[in-house]
């Protein structure tokens, strides 16, 4: 066990600490985990620097890319009101930066300041001036040649000055003081621990995801679509405004215990099986299901997506069908029962018959872990930089920390999205371990109270230091009751909420068509789910909301305020069925207010409360422009009125005109 605090009983092994650097922010779990930021952000670092007595202190913020030896440094500024030191540095690149704080006594300014105080109070300061001269002389003696002459010149001026006042004025000159200081040792020098910040690519904060079930993108019934079919849909998806195309597993699908339609039993010869049952005689996690095409077809698909400025995200599902080559080649990577059989994946009383889990702590764990790392590297080298990770909360904590840091040390632009729906503390821990983004409970939060509680915990708290939620409206596993019952308005409501509450959000295909048929009542599974069968969609189905989605995504692109999540401000609305919130950029040049009617059945009106003081529109009327309908409203003061008919438009996305 590591002892946090050492007992110190002898002066012999006691280090004289005279400056205490405390309460550094940001800091996560005592530095055990890095905080998270996005490339281009400036990281503001603050700390308390406490020393006994009345010395003039100095502090520097030190920072560097991890694995680079040389520190950069910038002076910290002292904030007298807060008794706190602050400095910032720019996170220019993705990857991990380290930062730390150095503090020391400013011997020179200390002496200059006390000399001035004595002088101002009418004391004899000859002794002090003498010490000052000594200090400058020792700085000159210790300084390199180029500095020596500059210092000496100034020193001469000081000595030649006729009055003490003039001498002190020269002595306290900031630039001169810096020069003297740079050649003096730093008394009481104290250094903090080193902290870390993980810098993610922009897409980890701002992106719109489209989950595309590859084999249903064609139009031949009872037959798998191919990557070529998928490619054909890209322009339409780009037109809707999405940045990421996320595909379920693209690998060969196991045959043993393959599931049939609607997960209703063992599969027949025509059932394609669940793509998450990875591996058969054609290969495993590094192979492609021949039904979808070849590796070349996949590469072409990725390439076409990139041409349209979209990234392809793959599904990283660390599990195997019983037919996976790993099962034959590395039996020790799996859990064997006494009778020699391998255990199905299970979470009593649920059994996943068509997959077997890895034994992450088997005696050959290192070999397994290295192989799973190779899987990621394999696809990165094929042009994939985003991985949606299936059920990470059932794999060891240490595995993720190792895997993600290993990948990111070579490929810092990689994005890992954690698909964990479990206890909040586990979800938060995964984010700390290195996942760029995480799924959230958003999908099930429908009432104002539920939404606000959820946002308070995951967005408006310190959790935002490391947790970036990706708000999905639906997934192949989750067709929420709200969508099942609320019809087309419900789909528009959930889209606006996802897309404006969070800068990262996603939909699963079919959402744009308002697909809402559930397997059974009380089930969140889709009827005739693509997970177990081939499907053909009519992408132009009547009553689709593709234009609405295009519009909302366009608004997101054109309004920087919506490209952040931590700037969310929940505002008051008098009606419990109406959510009202705002986002603005730091400079307040882009201010967006959103009002959403959460009731998909009835028109709701509400008084909404605008923070006019903060927005600088106090005591005046101002215009808000609904970016959905194009209508302008003249508002005045804090309280204003809105009315939303879900069958027309269930939400306002209002731009404050300035």
Residue 419 appears among annotated catalytic residues: yes
- Please, what is the minimum distance in Å from the beta carbon of residue 658 to a second copy? 38
Q: What single-letter DSSP state applies at residue 28?
A: B
Q: What single-letter DSSP state applies at residue 20?
A: E
- Please, what is the minimum distance in Å from the beta carbon of residue 126 to a second copy? 9
Q: Residue 249: CB partners within 8 Å, gap ≥ 6? A: 275, 276, 278, 314, 315, 317
- Please, what is the minimum distance in Å from the beta carbon of residue 485 to a second copy? 30
Tokens of 449: 């109270």
- Please, what is the minimum distance in Å from the beta carbon of residue 398 to a second copy? 4
Helix 164-171 / helix 174-183 crossing angle, nearest 10 deg: 70
Residue 80 appears among annotated catalytic residues: no
In the complex with a second copy, which residue's Cβ is closer, 80 or 587? Answer: 80
In the complex with a second copy, which residue's Cβ is closer, 15 or 42? Answer: 15
In the complex with a second copy, which residue's Cβ is closer, 153 or 350? Answer: 350
Q: Residue 144: CB partners within 8 Å, gap ≥ 6? A: none
Q: Residue 569: CB partners within 8 Å, gap ≥ 6? A: 581, 582, 583, 584, 611
Q: Is residue 308 within a helix (H) or strand (E), and if so which, with residue range?
A: none
Q: Is the dihedral of CA 473, 476, 479, 480 positive or negative?
A: negative
Q: Is the dihedral of CA 311, 315, 316, 321 positive or negative?
A: negative
Cα(61)–Cα(192) distance, integer angstroms: 10
- Please, what is the minimum distance in Å from the beta carbon of residue 452 to a second copy? 20
Cα(630)–Cα(233) distance, integer angstroms: 29
In the complex with a second copy, which residue's Cβ is closer, 307 or 343? Answer: 343
In the complex with a second copy, which residue's Cβ is closer, 349 or 630? Answer: 349
Nearest to 534 by CA among 275, 271, 327, 326: 271
- Please, what is the minimum distance in Å from the beta carbon of residue 391 to a second copy? 9
In the complex with a second copy, which residue's Cβ is closer, 12 or 587? Answer: 12
In the complex with a second copy, which residue's Cβ is closer, 345 or 483? Answer: 345
- Please, what is the minimum distance in Å from the beta carbon of residue 365 to a second copy? 7
- Please, what is the minimum distance in Å from the beta carbon of residue 259 to a second copy? 18
In the complex with a second copy, which residue's Cβ is closer, 5 or 543? Answer: 5
- Please, what is the minimum distance in Å from the beta carbon of residue 180 to a second copy? 19
In the complex with a second copy, which residue's Cβ is closer, 113 or 236? Answer: 113
CA distances from 570 to 267, 449, 476, 597 (A): 49, 12, 30, 15
Burial 281-315 (b: 16+ CB within 10 A, else e): eebbbebbbebbbeeebbeebbebbeeeebbbbbb
Nearest to 32 by CA among 416, 566, 398: 398
For tokens 């009835």, the residue is 602
Q: What single-letter DSSP state applies at residue 148?
A: H
Q: What single-letter DSSP state applies at residue 232?
A: H
- Please, what is the minimum distance in Å from the beta carbon of residue 361 to a second copy? 7
Annotated catalytic residue within 229, 304, 390, 530: 390
For residue 57, give the 3-state DSSP assignment. Answer: strand
3-state secondary structure 574-624: CCCCEEEEEEECCCCCCEEEEEEECCCCCCEEEEEECCHHHHCCCCCEEEE
Annotated catalytic residue within 419, 465, 512, 599: 419
For tokens 């889990």, the residue is 357
In the complex with a second copy, which residue's Cβ is closer, 337 or 619? Answer: 337
In the complex with a second copy, which residue's Cβ is closer, 134 or 281? Answer: 134
CA distances from 582 to 278, 497, 656 (A): 44, 12, 10
- Torsion angle, alpha carbons of 517, 518, 520, 521, to 10: -90
Q: Is residue 427 within a helix (H) or strand (E), and if so which, with residue range?
A: helix 424-433
φ/ψ of residue 107, rounded to 5: -55, -45
Tokens of 605: 């009106």
Cα(638)–Cα(74) distance, integer angstroms: 42
Cα(246)–Cα(473) distance, integer angstroms: 14
**Could you tell me if 597 and 610 are in contact, meaning their C-beta atoms sit under 8 angstroms apart?**
no
CA distances from 487 to 500, 507, 524, 536 (A): 21, 16, 15, 21
Cα(653)–Cα(624) distance, integer angstroms: 9
Residues assigned a catalytic role: 390, 419
């Amino acid at each position: 066990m590591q002892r946090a605090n050492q007992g110190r009983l002898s002066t012999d092994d006691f280090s004289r600490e005279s400056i205490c650097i405390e309460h550094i922010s940001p800091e996560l779990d005592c530095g055990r985990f890095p905080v998270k930021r996005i490339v281009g952000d400036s990281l503001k670092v603050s700390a308390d620097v406490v020393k006994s007595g009345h010395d003039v202190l100095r502090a520097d913020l030190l920072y560097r890319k991890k694995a680079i030896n040389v520190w950069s440094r910038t002076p910290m500024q002292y904030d007298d009101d807060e008794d706190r030191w602050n400095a910032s540095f720019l996170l220019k690149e993705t990857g991990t930066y380290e930062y730390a704080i150095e503090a020391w006594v400013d011997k020179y300014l200390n002496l200059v300041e006390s000399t001035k105080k004595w002088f101002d109070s009418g004391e004899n300061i000859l002794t002090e001036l003498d010490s000052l001269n000594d200090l400058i002389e020792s700085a000159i003696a210790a300084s390199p040649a180029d500095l020596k002459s500059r210092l000496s010149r100034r020193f001469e001026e000081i000595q030649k000055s006729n009055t003490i006042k003039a001498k002190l004025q020269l002595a306290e000159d900031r630039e001169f003081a810096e020069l003297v200081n740079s050649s003096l040792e730093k008394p009481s020098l104290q250094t903090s621990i080193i902290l870390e910040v993980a810098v993610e690519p922009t897409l980890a904060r701002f992106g719109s995801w489209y989950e595309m079930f590859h084999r249903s993108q064609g139009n031949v019934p009872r037959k798998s679509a191919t990557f070529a079919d998928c490619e054909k849909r890209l322009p339409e998806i780009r037109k809707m405004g999405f940045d990421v195309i996320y595909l379920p597993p693209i690998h060969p699908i196991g045959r043993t215990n393959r599931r049939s339609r609607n997960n209703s039993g063992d599969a027949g010869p025509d059932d394609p099986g669940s793509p998450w049952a990875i591996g058969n005689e054609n290969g495993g996690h590094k192979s492609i299901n021949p039904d979808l095409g070849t590796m070349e077809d996949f590469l072409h698909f990725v390439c076409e997506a990139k041409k349209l400025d979209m990234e392809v995200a793959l599904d990283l599902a660390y599990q195997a069908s019983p037919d996976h080559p790993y099962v034959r080649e590395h039996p020790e990577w799996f859990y064997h029962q006494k009778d020699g059989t391998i255990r199905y994946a299970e979470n009593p009383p649920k059994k996943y018959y068509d997959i077997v889990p890895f034994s992450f702590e088997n005696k050959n764990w290192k070999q397994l872990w290295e192989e799973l790392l190779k899987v990621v590297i394999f696809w990165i080298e094929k042009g994939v930089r985003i991985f949606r990770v299936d059920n990470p909360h059932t794999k060891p904590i240490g595995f993720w920390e190792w895997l993600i840091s290993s990948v990111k040390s070579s490929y810092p632009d990689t994005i890992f999205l954690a698909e964990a729906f479990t206890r909040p503390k586990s979800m938060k821990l995964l984010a700390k371990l290195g996942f760029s983004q995480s799924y959230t409970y958003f999908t099930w939060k429908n009432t104002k109270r539920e939404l606000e509680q959820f946002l308070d915990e995951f967005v408006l708290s310190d959790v935002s230091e490391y947790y970036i939620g990706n708000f999905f409206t639906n997934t192949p596993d989750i067709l929420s009751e709200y969508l099942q019952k609320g019809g087309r308005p419900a789909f528009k409501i959930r889209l606006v909420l996802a897309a404006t509450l969070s800068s990262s959000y996603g939909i699963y295909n079919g959402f744009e068509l308002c697909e809402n048929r559930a397997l059974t009542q009380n089930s969140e599974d889709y009827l005739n789910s693509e997970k177990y069968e081939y499907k053909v969609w009519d992408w132009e189905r009547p009553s689709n909301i593709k234009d609405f989605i295009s519009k909302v995504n366009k608004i997101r692109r054109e309004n920087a305020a919506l490209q952040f999540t931590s700037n969310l401000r929940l505002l008051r609305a008098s009606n419990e069925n109406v959510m009202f919130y705002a986002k603005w950029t730091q400079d307040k040049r882009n201010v967006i207010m959103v009002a959403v009617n959460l009731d998909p059945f009835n028109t709701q009106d509400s008084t909404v409360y605008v923070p006019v003081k903060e927005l600088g529109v106090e005591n005046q009327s101002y215009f808000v422009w609904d970016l959905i309908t194009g209508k302008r409203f003249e508002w005045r003061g804090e309280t204003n009125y809105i009315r939303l008919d879900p069958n027309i438009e269930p939400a306002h996305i209002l731009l404050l005109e300035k």
